[in-house]
Amino acid sequence: MFAPEIVLTAVLNGLLTGSVYALVALGLTLVYGVLHIINFAHGALLTAAMFAVLVAHLGLGLDPYVAILILTPLFFALGYLLQRFVIGPAGHGSDTNLLLVTLGLSIVIENALLAVFRSDTRSIDVPYAFASIDIGFTLLSVPRVVAFVVALAVALALGAILTLTDIGKGIRAVAKEKLGAALVGIDVNHVYAVTFGLGTACLAVAACLLMPTFYVTPRVGNAFVLVAFTIVVLGGMGSILGALLGGFIVGVVESLCGLYFGESLGQIGVFLIFILVLLVRPTGLFGAKA
Amino acid sequence: MSVRDLLPIVAVVGVLALIPFGASANTVLNFLVFTLIIAIAAQGWNILGGYGGQFSFGHAAFFGTGAYATAMLQVHLGLNAWVAFAIGIGAGAMVGLVIGFLSFRSGLRGSYFSLITLAFAEVLRIVANASAITGGAAGLLIKLDVRPANFQFHSRAAFFWIGLALVALVLVLTRWLEHSRFGAQLMAVRENEDAARALGVDALTVKLGAIALSAAITAAAGCLYAQYFLYLDSTIAYGLWISVEALLAPIVGGIGTVFGPLIGALALHGLGNLTSLMAGRIPGIDLVVYGALLVLVVAFAPDGLLGLVKRLRARLFRRAATETA
């Protein structure tokens, strides 16, 4: 057995990782809740955002945290256009078609990145990458604490957008009753595209938070998207609060499994949760009845 | 099943069987064997996805189980390759039954079924990557011992004909399915599961039968892969790539049709190879074409290439008819 400090450190690190997972899952759950699309392109879009951070840093000398301000609107626009002009028209409103279109998109994005950047593992070099805070019994990495705080702030902001703004009300109306929303004059296609844009914007923030301590390869998004699917299913498809809590739970579970079963089996705990939740309670912790 | 039903199958397989006499270059045969392996995996997917309407995103679970079973039985137990091949197919069917029983009994449908199959394949991949019996991350090598009794041949053409024979077998099986009672029940479940059950179809049993058959066929593709390349690791056997290949080919070729998976596999890999040849050795460029093709097919030809041809022909005939009238 491990000493309590070690276990506690693992839990804390799991929470920090979980916050970024939650951010990725937030975008996924938002898109599912409103458009009822299981967005397979989510991971590839995250990879694209991470490469965008890399290029901004190497090409323009931008700090990843400054890049948040530029990349977030940029990826919002990208998501908006993708949904409006590719996914929406190609899907013909059928669930399986939408699934296949996003799968096709993810293959295109991932391999276009592979063609341009090749399969090398790349990372960026920032002075604060290894900075840490001493909290008595253990050290916490500064970039990961920053990621934790910003991820929480983004979740709050997203909640505020959904409850306080007009477009947020529109989004919630469409999620509840698409036809009714259309009848009272809400432009459903616009709302869909805005939602997809918001989901993609979350990825840009997540990418900026990840890059100081993580690496990027054209396939890196796959690892995140499978975890994000688990979180979304665990928290309940479409639930923002569920995604947040699910993210923390999965982060901690992964961290503890890594501690007890070793690095290579660490992720198996995540997938076992995934399968168990799907089998026992497919609506998740906070999901409405399907 | 009448002779008329089998005629197109005999004709297509007969023409394909002649290819090695015309083009015997190793690169061509290599490409063809690989494409046939994908076609078999896709034919398996088409049974469950095309005729049963259950979209699996994790057919790698069956492909990998077949491949690993074949390889492990030979490497660890010294079993004859042909026997191992047969057991591999059975092992794939068993895994299919287990996954099917767990997910169908819980009533998972649509996207949820896609997600859980994906998760099962990932769990198997992680386990295979971490255990000693599968060779872990280093992979598993089958000993080179080229004898027909050993399922190893000097000529790639032999593998091509074996692959083609398997494809032909599944083509006949699929044609039989279309006309059988089991197939009719399966398609009824695809169209409307609740209605089918109201009419007395035992939906769970039908879906279990479909996933077992589907898994067995895809496992056969995995066995052939192991036997042809004599090397496996967890990302080859249980990787997402084969799950995607298995579903892409039927959708591009024509989902829920006898020839769809074969046509889709030939078209995708033909086009992919062509792109690689033209664009030089840029990694991933062929897959960009795959992905784009998938989006285009879903957007403009929901019934795949076969459906497209049918539609064009109908339009052409109609025009000809109006012109003569």
Q: Which residue of A has its CA nearest to B289?
A: A108
Tell me the pLDDT of chain A averaged across its residues. 89
DSSP B146: -
Rounded CA-CA distance A54/A211 in Å is 8
Q: Per-residue pLDDT averaged across A260-264, rounded?
A: 77
Would you say residue B79 lies in a domain?
Answer: yes
Say if the Cβ atoms of B288 and A103 lie within 8 Å. no
Ranges of residues in chain B with a pLDDT under 70 are 1, 322-325
Token code pair at residue B194: 């609740």
pLDDT band at residue A46 under the 50/70/90 scheme: very high
Domain assignment of residue A112, given as a range: 4-280
Residue B169 placed within a domain: yes
Residue A134 lies in a domain: yes
Cβ-Cβ pairs closer than 8 A, A with B, add up to 121
User: Is residue B307 domain-resident?
Assistant: no
Quickly count: other Cβ atoms within 10 Å of residue A207's Cβ: 33
**A132 touching chain B per CB within 8 A:** no
Cβ contact A111–B287 (<8 Å): yes
Q: How far is B106 from chain A (nearest CA, A)?
A: 6
Any chain B CB within 8 A of the CB of A89? yes
Residues in A closer than 8 angstroms to B114, CB to CB, are: 38, 99
Q: Is residue A6 within 8 angstroms of chain B, CB to CB?
A: no
Asked if B119's CB is within 8 angstroms of A104's CB, the reply is no
Q: Which of residues 186-205 of A touch B (CB under 8 A)?
A: none
Model confidence at A119: pLDDT above 90: no
How far, CA to CA in Å, does A228 sit from each of A34, A35, A85, A236, B29? 17, 17, 25, 12, 41
The answer to whether residue B296 sits within a structural domain is no
The pLDDT assigned to B325 comes to 54
In a domain, B193, yes or no: yes
Which tens digit of pLDDT belongs to each residue from A197-242?
999 999 999 999 999 988 899 988 888 888 888 898 888 888 888 8
CA angle A269-A271-A273, nearest 5°? Answer: 70
- Note whether residue B298 is domain-resident: no
CA distance, residue A279 to nearest chain B CA (Å): 6
Tell whether A110 is within 8 A of chain B (Cβ): yes
How confident is residue A289, by pLDDT bands cut at 50, 70 and 90?
A: very low
Residue ranges of chain B whose CB lies within 8 Å of a chain A CB: 55, 102-103, 106, 108, 110-112, 114-116, 118-120, 122-123, 126-127, 129-130, 137, 240, 244, 251, 282-285, 287-288, 290-295, 298-299, 302
Task: Label residue A98 by pLDDT band (50, 70, 90).
Answer: confident
Say which DSSP state B136 is in: G
A288 domain residue, yes or no: no
Compute CA B178 distance to the chain's CA centroid, rounded to the nearest angstrom: 18
Does residue A225 lie within any of the structural domains?
A: yes
Rounded-to-integer distance, Cα B117 and Cα B45, Å: 12
Pairing outcome for strands B140-141 and A139-141? unpaired
In angstroms, what separates the C-alpha of A233 from chain B's closest C-alpha?
Answer: 9
Task: Determine whether the interchain pair A115/B282 forms a contact, defined as Cβ–Cβ distance below 8 Å.
Answer: yes
Q: Which residues of B touch A97 (CB under 8 A)?
A: 298, 302
**If you average pLDDT over every residue of chain B, what do you get?**
91
Res A213: pLDDT: 87
- 3-class secondary structure for chain A? CCCHHHHHHHHHHHHHHHHHHHHHHHHHHHHHHHHCCCCCCHHHHHHHHHHHHHHHHHHHCCCHHHHHHHHHHHHHHHHHHHHHHHHHHHHCCCHHHHHHHHHHHHHHHHHHHHHHHCCCCECCCCCCCCCEEECCCCEEEHHHHHHHHHHHHHHHHHHHHHHHCHHHHHHHHHHHCHHHHHHCCCCHHHHHHHHHHHHHHHHHHHHHHHCCCCCECCCHHHHHHHHHHHHHHHHCCCCHHHHHHHHHHHHHHHHHHHHHHCHHHCCHHHHHHHHHHHHHCCCCCCCCCC
Residue A289 lies in a domain: no
pLDDT of amino acid B324: 62
pLDDT at position A290 is 42
Say what the pLDDT of residue B98 is: 96
Which of B108, B282, B287 minimises the CB distance to A282? Answer: B108
In Å, how far is A142's CA from the nearest CA of chain B?
Answer: 31
| A30 alpha carbon, distance to own chain's centre | 10
* Res A287: pLDDT: 64
d(CA B226, CA B57): 21
Closest Cα in chain B, distance from residue A146 (Å)? 31
In A, minimum Cα distance to B283 occurs at: A115
Span A88-106, mean pLDDT? 85
- For A140-178, write each residue's pLDDT tens digit: 889 999 999 999 999 999 999 999 999 999 999 998 888
Nearest C-alpha of chain B: how many angstroms from A198? 22
Spatial distance between the Cα atoms of B167 and B265, rounded to a whole number of angstroms = 12
Within the 167-186 window of chain A, which residues sit less than 8 Å (CB to CB) from chain B?
none
At A244, list the tokens: 């947040």
Task: List the beta strands (DSSP E) in chain B.
Answer: 140-141, 231-232
* Confidence check: pLDDT of A25 > 50: yes
Tally of domains within chain B:
1
Q: Quick check: A226 and B118 CB within 8 A? A: yes
Residue B145 DSSP one-character state: -
CATH of the domain at B189: 1.10.3470
The string over B219-253, giving b where at least 16 C-beta atoms fall within 10 Å of a residue's C-beta and e elsewhere, is bbbbbbbbbbebebbbbbbbbbebbbbbbbbbbbb
* Cβ-nearest to A115 among B244, B288, B292: B288
In a domain, residue B315? The reply is: no
Average pLDDT estimate for A51-70: 93
> How many Cβ atoms from other residues are within 10 Å of residue B131's Cβ?
13
pLDDT at position B90, please? 97
- Given B110, B127, B283, which is nearest A95 (Cβ)? B110
Domain carrying residue B160: 3-251
Record: contact B130-A265, CB cut-off 8 A: yes
Residue B262: CB partners within 8 Å, gap ≥ 6? B12, B39, B42, B43, B167, B171, B249, B253
3-class DSSP state for residue B217? helix
The total domain count for chain A is: 1
- For residues A34-56, average pLDDT: 92
pLDDT in the model for residue A252: 92
CATH (domain of A255): 1.10.3470
- In this complex, the residue of A106, A233, A265 whose CB is nearest that of residue B115 is A233
Q: Determine the pLDDT at residue B195.
A: 94
Min Cα distance B312 → chain A (Å) is: 20
Average pLDDT over residues A99-114: 91
